Amino acid sequence: MAAGIYLHVPFCRQKCGYCDFYSLPKLSWIPAYLETVKQEILSYRNQGIVADTLYFGGGTPSLLPPEEIEALIGLCRDVFSLEGEITLEANPESSSLSFLRKIKAAGVNRISFGAQSVIPKELAALGRIHTAKAIDDAVFAAKEAGFSNISLDVMLAIPYQTEKSLQQTLSHFISLQPTHLSAYLLKIEEGTPFFQNHIERLCPDDDYAASLYLQTVAALNQAGLLQYEISNFAKPGMESRHNLKYWIGEEYIGIGPAAHSAYKGKRFFHPSSLAQYIRSQGKNLLLEGDFGGEWEQLMLSLRLTKGVDPDTFSFGQSLKEKADSYLRAGWMAKRDGKLAFTPQGFLLSNSILAQLLPDEE
């Protein structure tokens, strides 16, 4: 089975106050980073690994020069016989028509814009430097450059957001006719500026956040962007093939600082240090644990709206019995013999999953 390749680009022009991903505003380090990434990719040569997805995540991958993106794709084609979905995350303000044409010619065939909102007050509170017009310009430029697979990110329960302002954002994004949309509830992580500055005081409370999530699910499904995972929606057949690997338990290899892998039954990762990554020439991988157990597979698969077949698990009978009360409550549903969360159930999925865990013998 083909693997996915995730390539972490840890650079941003400025760090957003809510961001807990590993990134830093040290653009002068890009050349040394690129040299190390290429060495790491080459370290997998002649291992018989075949990949059918490549995902440039960040950070802001669109800060890389187009010719370097082309070189990295070419290297992955050589080492991993790469063919298939190639995604690049981009910020609207750093996505000119010239840039998009160059990366399309380089082999990128899916673009994901960090759009978040069209409301100026909300964008300012998030520290985003783009405008609604910049989002429009980026999407129109992507289409002119030949992209037919375009994803947008929207953030929920952010400072100052209301049901009315969210509807403005969703209606605007829907009008742009993306093929995919990711909708993430803001989670304020310890250690971020949002946490230190108590930004939660400006955010909707948990009940209101839940209503915003359900509003989003309803609006996007009605627009033909069908929910297929807790936070992801797509036109039929346009689901993110790379991200699906995470949720259905397929193998993936992470390249770059802070990148995680799940391969040959093991999970491993690079520490979140660009300096250490470069010093070690990309050889600072650490073992995280085993990959692919039944409980892990249940937890990941239940993120998907298609759910799981209880009979494929050794604890299937127990799973069906424990799920019964959640079915009655409307938090889970049966679809084609599979157990799945409803949108209301997704909001409680972490606590429900803990109850579905097999009893210790």
Express each pLDDT in 127-167 by its tens digit. 888 899 999 999 999 999 999 999 999 999 999 999 999 99
Report whether 195 contacts 189 (CB < 8 A). Answer: yes
**Long-range contacts at 320-324 (CB < 8 A, ≥ 24 apart):** 322/355, 322/356, 323/356
How many CB atoms are closer than 10 A to CB 215? 15
Report whether 238 contacts 229 (CB < 8 A). Answer: no
CA angle 18, 20, 22 (to 5 degrees): 130
What domains are defined for the chain? 3-246 (3.20.20.70), 308-356 (no CATH)
Q: Which residues pair with 110 in a beta bridge?
A: 87
Q: Nearest 5°: phi and psi at 351?
A: -70, -35
What pTM value is reported for the model? 0.94
Of the CA atoms within 13 Å of residue 306, those in its CB half-sphere come to 8
Q: Report the C-alpha gap between 88 and 110 in whole angstroms.
A: 7
- Per-residue pLDDT at 186: 80
- Per-residue pLDDT at 361: 42
| DSSP letter (8 states) at residue 44 | T
Low-confidence ranges of the chain (pLDDT < 70): 14-21, 188-189, 192-193, 195-198, 359-361
How many CB atoms are closer than 10 A to CB 253? 21
Report whether 216 contacts 210 (CB < 8 A). Answer: no
Closest CA to 307 of 345, 334, 279, 282: 334
What are the tens digits of pLDDT across the range 236-284?
A: 999 999 999 999 999 999 999 999 999 999 999 999 999 999 999 999 9
Crossing angle of the two packed helices 97-106 and 132-144, in degrees rounded to 10: 40
Structure-token pair, residue 86 = 């190639």
Q: Which residues contact 1 (CB under 8 A, 6 or more apart)?
A: 250, 251
* Omega of the bond leading into 256 within 30 degrees of 0 (cis): no
- Per-residue pLDDT at 337: 87
